[in-house]
Amino acid sequence: MHSCIPSHFRVFYRRTAAGKPLCYRSMPRLSFIRIFGSEKSVSTAINNAAEYRTIEDDIMTNYKDLGLVNSKELFKKAVKGGYAIPAFNFNNLEQLQAIIGACVETKSPVILQVSSGARKYANSTLLKHLAKGAVDYAKELGCAIPIVLHLDHGDTFELCKSCIESGFSSVMIDGSHHPYDKNVELTKQVVEYAHKYDVTVEGELGVLAGIEDAVSSAVTHYTKPEEVEDFVKKTGVDSLAISIGTSHGANKFKPEQCTKSPDGVLLPPPLRFDILEEVEKRIPGFPIVLHGASSVPVELVKIINANGGKMKDAVGIPEDQLRKAAKSAVCKVNIDSDGRIAMTAAVRKTLMENPAEFDPRKYLGPARDQLKSLYKHKIINVLGSNDKA
Ligand code: G3H
Ligand code: 13P
Ligand code: ZN
């Protein structure tokens, strides 16, 4: 029935006490606006009168129906237990298979993370079913690990709302590029909407260098510890991403910012643990998120470059620093670039060694294996989230 309703019509109905639809009414959008003043006030009026449901409510997919969880309990346990939950970005089947395979084998909870670009690439309907598939696949593999579906770097209220409506259990609203007050206002707006559906929200203070879909910055602006308490209080966010010297992508630092190890490997400046400690003092026990946490493994970059790639001066965050961070209030660590590097290394090597191969399974299969072993390594040796599912 829903698909037959023209988009300029709004439909709402009332339910009986038993929950059965009592009456449907529909009228053109303009009539709604005439009667209620604006479309917004219509939905507010209907939302406030609990017995009324709009057609949007019916279209909405609640993440709980997909078997997903929000991040609240996971973060509470992670902060207490001194480990961090992996937040792995994905946009295709092989990545998802690798993530779930690795997390089931290590018994780790996981955050499946989707950027707005990834959502456009994969299609939001398919993503919803992939996430539900991930829940069932984990069970089939023998361990029903907790799985969160999270929007990475949401930049507008509308995008966050749309993700919540299509089954996401957690969203990030990244207002870090706005002036402080605007960041507070936008984040609060998302929190108010998300919490109605028990969806958790990550905010951000401070700016990471590097490029993402919606936001990019050439320079890092460290988080100001003196702002965090006010931000958390005013917005009601469930977790906070901070900037302490990590950055996005595979070239996190310029060579001139680095020193060199005796064997010529670039060593980046250390993370600003002093800022992290100051933040922890001001909001004790509050869940902290680290973006830009790829380590850019030297051996994988070498494989890429030995097989036709051109990754120059790639440098990431040393794993011992991430391990230290994971033991603090940092309870979510975002890793995307390392997964891209692992897949690319395997695809390049396989195709270079088998130039006649044209079956995608023959090069995506090894890429998936490489990815899975990278994820297991991160979980066990860097984040410590193994056996926490
Ligand atoms: O932080 C950004 C993530 O790595 C997502 O990257 O926007 O290219 O999907 P993307
Ligand atoms: P990396 O580019 O270091 O993997 O960071 C990913 C990230 O922060 C996603 O939000
Ligand atoms: Zn990020």
CB of residue 350 inside a 6 A radius of ligand 1: no
**Could you tell me the distance, in angstroms and rounded to a whole number, from the CA of residue 251 to the centre of ligand 1?**
14
Residues with Cβ within 8 Å of residue 176, at least 6 apart in sequence: 183, 204, 205, 206, 207, 215, 241, 243
- The ligand minimizing its distance to the Cα of 294 is 2
The predicted model scores a pTM of: 0.86
What mean pLDDT is predicted for residues 309-321? 96
223 close to ligand 1 (CB < 6 Angstrom):
no
pLDDT of 209 reads: 77
How close is the Cα of 208 to the center of ligand 3, in Å? 8
How far is the centre of ligand 3, averaged over its atoms, from the C-alpha of 203 (Å)?
Answer: 11
Cα of 334 vs centre of ligand 2, distance in Å, is: 5
Best residue for ligand 1 mutational test, from 247, 248, 336, 338 (most atoms within 8 Å of Cβ): 336
Residue 91 CB partners (closer than 8 Å, separation 6+): 114, 118, 121, 122
Phi first, then psi: give them for residue 10, nearest 5 degrees: -110, 140
Q: Which atom of ligand 1 is nearest to the CA of 336?
A: 4
Predicted confidence at residue 4, as pLDDT, reads 43
Query: Looking at 57, 136, 152, 213, which residue is catalytic?
Result: 152
Beta carbon of 251 within 6 Å of any ligand 2 atom: no
Question: 35 C-alpha to center of ligand 3: Å?
Answer: 44
How many angstroms separate the alpha carbon of residue 327 from the centre of ligand 1? Answer: 25
Using CA atoms, how far apart are residues 229 and 237, in angstroms rounded to an integer? 11
In angstroms, rounded to a whole number, what is the distance separating the alpha carbons of residues 335 and 295?
9
Least trusted range by pLDDT, from 8-22, 107-121, 209-223: 8-22
Residue 340 has a pLDDT of 98
What residue's CA is closest to ligand 1, atom 4? Answer: 336
With a 6 Å cutoff on the Cβ, whether 217 touches ligand 1 is no
Q: Is 57 a catalytic residue?
A: no
Instruction: Look at residue 122 in the predicted model and tell me its pLDDT.
Output: 97
Give yes or no for residue 214 CB within 6 A of ligand 1: no
Q: Give CA–CA dist 336/295, Å, rounded.
A: 10
Nearest CA to ligand 2 atom 3: 292
Residue nearest to atom 1 of ligand 2 (CA): 292
Cα 133 to Cα 141: distance, rounded to the nearest angstrom: 12
Q: What is the pLDDT of residue 156?
A: 97
131 closest CA partner among 95, 172, 86, 174: 95
pLDDT of residue 48: 45
Closest atom, ligand 2, to C-alpha of 152: 10
Distance CA(134)–CA(15), nearest Å, equals: 34
User: What is the model's pLDDT at position 8?
Assistant: 44
125-136 pLDDT per residue, tens: 999 999 999 999
Report in angstroms the alpha-carbon separations of 141 from 107, 133, 161, 284. Answer: 11, 12, 32, 37
Kindly state the average pLDDT of the residues 292-300: 97
Domains of the chain: 11-54 (no CATH), 63-383 (3.20.20.70)
The residue with tokens 């209620």 is 36
Band of the pLDDT at 303, cuts 50, 70, 90? very high
pLDDT of res. 1 = 36
Average pLDDT estimate for 270-278: 97
128 CB within 6 A, ligand 2: no
The answer to whether the CB of 150 is under 6 A from ligand 1 is: no
Among all chains, which residue has been given the structure tokens 């992508």? Answer: 249
Return the C-alpha torsion angle 340, 341, 346, 352, nearest 10. 110
Is 213 close to ligand 1, i.e. is its CB under 6 Å away?
yes
The yes-or-no verdict on residue 30 having pLDDT over 90 is no
Instruction: Name which of 137-151, 168-182, 260-274, 332-346 the model is least confident about.
Output: 260-274
Q: Is the pLDDT of residue 58 over 50?
A: yes
pLDDT band at 277 (very low <50, low <70, confident <90, very high): very high
The pLDDT, as a whole number, for residue 16 is 53
How many Å lie between the centroid of ligand 1 and the Cα of residue 5?
36
Q: Is 332 close to ligand 2, i.e. is its CB under 6 Å away?
A: no
- Closest residue by Cα to atom 6, ligand 1, is 212
User: Atom 2 (ligand 1): residue with closest C-alpha?
Assistant: 212
